[in-house]
Amino acid sequence: MVGAELDAKPLIEDLYLAYTEILDDGDLRSWPDLFTDDGEYHIVAKENRDRGLPLALMRCESKGMIEDRVNAILQLSMYQPRVLRHLISALHVRPTPPDRGAPRFDVTANYAVFQTLADEETTVLSTGRYLDVVAIEHDTARFRKKVCVYDNPLVPNSLVYPL
């Protein structure tokens, strides 16, 4: 790792901690703050991605769309209580050309999300890979683009929630 990468890595790790904490135990309303103003969020099936198909289960191409998604989730998900739990692998961090002076990094990692529904056993909701671009602005790491590539094409209907 070079200097800039060494300095950025703890900031990037903090971003992934915050991501996990907000989705599993926190207030979803603060989730869009983890994205840059031009931030994007995509959920795509590995099968489609491997074939080069442009299909996506969720595609938010601006921070406004991310905020809209959060509002939709908060209205929809009240009726079915459930707990999600993320495990994310070690992060693979590689520098990528900066954008308007902000250092940027490609960050990849494996994830598993477990789901606990009332009166049911805990199951594996989704496994997959993050293919992200993280920007550092004012000593804070944020997602310029987050792409969740999920392994299982059999997506539960309930998957309106971020992975």
Q: Which residues bind a copy of itself (CB under 8 A)?
A: 1, 10, 13, 16-17, 20-21, 24-25, 46, 83, 85-90, 92, 108, 110, 112, 114, 116, 118-124, 126-129, 151-154
Shortest reach from residue 13's CB to a copy of itself, in Å: 6
Q: Give the single-character DSSP code of 61.
A: -
- Please report how close the Cβ of residue 89 comes to a copy of itself at its closest, in angstroms: 5
Q: Is 111 exposed, middle or buried (0-12, 13-18, 19+ CB in 10 A)?
A: buried
DSSP character for 161? S
The C-alpha atoms of residue 10 and residue 139 are separated, in whole angstroms, by: 10
CB of 67 to a copy of itself, least distance (A): 25
Place of tokens 């707990």: 83
Question: Nearer Cβ to a copy of itself, position 16 or 105?
Answer: 16
Closer by beta carbon to a copy of itself, 18 or else 73: 18
Between 109 and 160, name the residue whose CB sits nearer to a copy of itself. 109
Start-end of H helices in 41-117: 46-51, 63-76
Residue with the two structure tokens 């079915």: 80
Closer Cβ to a copy of itself, 62 or 152, answer by number:
152
